[in-house]
Structure 1
Amino acid sequence: MTITQLYYVLAVAENQNFTKAAEKCFVTQPTLSMQIQKLEDELSIQIFDRSKKPIELTDVGKKIVTQARNIVNESYRIQDIVDQQKGFIGGEFKLGIIPTVMPTLLPMFLKNFIKKHPKVTLIIEELTTDEIITRIKEGHLDAAIAATPLEDDAIKERVLYFEPFVSYIPKNHRLYGHNKIDVTDLDINDMLLLEDGHCFRDGVLNLCKTFKTHPDEKFQLESGSIETLIKLSNEGLGMTLLPYLHTLDINDKEKENLHHFKEPTPAREVSLIYHKSELKMQITEAIQDVIMGVVRGAIAFQDVQIISPLRADKKMRV
C-alpha cells in the first residue's frame, strides 16, 4: 500500500470517473487504474462499484476513503514541518472567501500580502459557506474566510474582526426618520434579502427571528448581490441590511440612507477557518496577520452582539 495509491483513490472518489481522475493526477488512465486495482487486490476488497455510472464507492470503499484522506493529509505534514523549521512561507495556498466578504475584504489585504509574501501563490475562490466546509474537509482548500461560529468539530476558527450590520433605508420607508434603529423595529415583510445559500441572509433571518414567527413567509424580493439590494431599495421596494464594510464605498447620496443600530450593535463574526489538522499554518498565520493589520483601522466598533450565521432550523437540530 502506498500514499500514491491512496491519492489516486481520492481522485476517483471525487471525480467518479477514472479518466478525469487520471487527468487531475497528471498520469495516464491505465497507470491510475492499475495502481487502484493493486490496492484492491492487496486488501481483497472492492473500493469502487465500476458497474455504476458514474462510478460509486462501495460501503467499505467509503470507509477507506475517509481514512485515506486522513493519511494523505498527514503525509503533507512532513513537508509542512520542514517548511516551518526553515521559516519558509511560500508555495501554493488555496483560499476560499464567502461572497459577502470577498468584494470588500480582498482589495484591502491582497496587495499587502503579495508584497510581504511574494513566494506564496494564492489561489482564491468565492464560495458559499457550505461549499467551503466541504472543500476544507476534503482537502481542496487550505483555509477560508467566512462568518462564524460554525460549530463544526473538524474546523478550527481564528476571529479576524466583528462586522456590524447597518440598515439601508430609503426615504419613503417607515423607519427613515429614525436616528438609530432598534432590532425590534425590523419587519421581515418589508425587507430585501439575499438569495438562499448566503450566510449573511441567514444572519438577517436570525436577527429578525423569522424562523420562529414566519416559518412559511414568502419574501417580496431576493437578490444574489448586495449591490442589487441597494438598487432595489433605492427604487422604494423595501429596506435592507448591509455588512459595515460594504457601506464604506457607496456614494454620498446613498450614505444618507444608512442608519446604524442602537448598541449593542448586531454584528457578524468573520474568521479565518481551516482544518483541524492545521496544515500550512505558517501561511494561514501570515494571512491572519496581514488582514488584522488592515482591518483594525477600518472597524472600530466594540459593543456588538454576534448574530449566528447558522440557519435557525440547523441550530435547533444541533
Structure 2
Amino acid sequence: MSRWPSLKQLHYLVALAEYQNFNRAARACFVSQSTLSTGIQTLEDLLGIQLIERDHKSFIMTTAGRDIVLRARKMLAEARDMMELAAAQGGVMTGGLRLGCIPTIAPFLLTDLVNRCASQAPQLELLLREDTSANLLNQLEEGELDLLVLALPYELRGFHSRVVGTDPFRLVVHRQLRKSLPPAVTIDSLPSHSVFLLEQEHCLTGHALAACHMTDRNKINPFAASSLYTLVQMVAAQEGATFLPQMAICGGILQHTGLEALPVEQEGAAREIGLVWRPSTTRVATFYAFGELVAASLRDICQA
C-alpha cells in the first residue's frame, strides 16, 4: 500500500459511528459536513472497501465499517498516548488530564480534589466527566478519557488499577423506624421491603450488598433510586433504611432528613476507591502522583 489512511480520516469515521449523524459528527470534529463526508469517502478509496451504505436521508455502517471503527478507536487512543508522552517531558504533573468519576463519588470528592490540584499541581488541567462505571470504561478504552476514579471491586477488562483509599459503609435508618428496632440494629432486624437501593447500573448497590452480607432479598424494596440524593429522599419519605458510603455522609447528604447513620455489623464493610487507566498509557508516573492527591482528599473528606 503506497498511501496510508490518516488519523484525521479515522477520527471522522469514529465520530460518525458515535453520533450516527453526519452533521453532529462534523460539529464534534470542528469541520464542515462536506469535509467529513469527503474524508470518509477518501478512507474508503484508500482501503478499497465500503464502510457505510448511504442513501439520500440516512446511512448504515457495513460489517467492515464496524470492524474498522473498533480498530480506529484503538489507534486513536494510542496516538493520544504518544502525544501525552511528548507533553509529559515537561514534567509529571503538567498538561491536561481527562478524568472520569462515578456519580456515587464525584459530588463528594471532586470539589476538594480540584482545589487540592489547583494549589499543589497548578500546571495540571483537570477535565471532568461523570458517568456510570460501564460507560466510563468504554470511554477510557476509546481514548476519550485518560484516568478514572471508580469504586472497586469491578470487572476492569484488562485495564490497570491502583487502590488509593477505602470508603466504609454505614447503615442509614429513619429515626421513626429506629424506634421500633432493638438497641443493637442488625440487618436481620429490619422489616421486609424497608431497604431502598440504587438502580442496578450503579455499582454501589452490588458493593453494599456484598460488603454488608445482605442475602435476604425480601428486605429490599422493589423501587430503586437513580442517584444517592434521590435514594436519601426515598428513605426519608418511606421511613426506611439503606446503605450509604461514609464520604457521602461526611459530605452532608443526611442533613435535615430525619435519618440516622449507624455502624454496619459486618467488620470491614467498605468499598475501595481506585484509579483505573489503559495499559498502553505513558503517564503512569502522573497517575501515581495524582493518586496521592486523591488519597489525601479522601482522608480529609472521611475525617470531616
TM-score range, shorter chain: 0.7 to 0.9
Query: What letter matches 1:274 in structure 2?
Result: W
C-alpha separation in 1, matches of 2:141 and 2:58 = 22
Give me the CA root mean square deviation.
Answer: 2.9
Report the Cα distance in structure 2 between the residues aligned to 1:285 and 1:177, rounded to whole angstroms. 46
Note if 1:202 corresponds to 2:189: no
Q: Counterpart of 2:299? A: 296
Matched, 1:159 2:192: no
Selected match of 2:72 from 62, 68, 75 = 68
| 1:190–1:220 contact (8 Å) kept in structure 2 | no
* Structure-1 separation of matches of 2:30 and 2:237: 53
Contact 1:170 1:176 in 2 (8 A): no
Matched position secondary structure for 2:86: helix
SS in structure 2 at match of 1:265: coil
Matching residue within 242, 250, 257 for 1:248:
250
| Structure 1 Cα separation of the partners of residues 56 and 297 of structure 2 | 51
Take 2:54 and 2:285, find their aligned partners in 1: how far apart are those partners? 41
Mapping 1:1-318, distance limit 5 Å: 1-51=5-55, 55-87=59-91, 89-173=93-177, 176-179=181-184, 181-182=185-186, 184-185=188-189, 189-206=193-210, 207-209=213-215, 219-235=221-237, 237-250=239-252, 257-299=260-302
Checking the alignment, whether the CA contact within 8 Å between 2:250 and 2:302 is kept in structure 1 is no
Residue in 2 aligned with 1:311?
Answer: none
SS in 2 for 1:49: strand
Larger mean CA deviation between 95-104 and 243-252 belongs to 243-252
Q: CA deviation at 1:291?
A: 1.0
Q: Name the structure 2 match of 1:312.
A: none
Tell me if the contact between 1:135 and 1:141 (Cα under 8 Å) persists in the aligned partners: yes
2-side partners of 1:237 and 1:132: how far apart? 34
Q: 1-side partners of 2:255 and 2:68: how far apart?
A: 58
Distance 1:297 1:21, change over 3 A: closer
Shift in Å at residue 46 of structure 1?
Answer: 0.8
Shift, 1:165, TM fit:
1.0
- Residue 185 and residue 110 in structure 1: after superposition, are their counterparts in 2 closer, same or farther (change >3 A)? farther
Supply the AA of the counterpart residue of 2:242. T
Give me the TM-score of the superposition, normalised by structure 1. 0.80
Match of 1:292, as an amino acid? Answer: A
Cα deviation, residue 111, structure 1: 0.2
Contact 1:16/1:54 (<8 A) preserved: no
SS where residue 174 of structure 2 aligns? coil
Relative to the length of structure 2, the TM-score reads 0.84
Return the letter of the residue paired with 2:47: L
Stretch deviating more after TM superposition (248-257 or 43-52)? 248-257
Question: Match of 2:183, as an amino acid?
Answer: H
Shifted more, 37-46 versus 75-84: the winner is 75-84
1:172 is paired with a residue of what secondary structure?
Answer: helix
The structure-2 alpha-carbon separation of the partners of 1:262 and 1:57, relative to structure 1 and needing over 3 Å to count, comes to same
Q: Is the 8 A contact 2:236 2:258 kept in 1?
A: no
* Inter-partner Cα distance in structure 1 for 2:282 and 2:295: 21
Are the equivalent residues in 2 in contact too, given 1:163–1:268 (CA < 8 A)?
A: yes
SS in structure 2 opposite 1:169? strand
Distance 1:255 1:275, change over 3 A: farther
Q: Quick one: distance in 2 between partners of 1:5 and 1:62?
A: 15
Identical-residue share of aligned pairs (%): 28
Rate the CA distance shift 1:87–1:208 in 2: closer, same or farther, 3 A.
same
**Rounded Cα–Cα distance in structure 2 between residues aligned with 1:110 and 1:255:** 31
Residue 46 of structure 2 aligns with an amino acid whose one-letter code is: E
Structure 1 counterpart of 2:34, one-letter code: P
How has the CA–CA distance of structure 1 residues 21 and 230 changed in structure 2, closer, same or farther, with 3 Å as cutoff?
closer
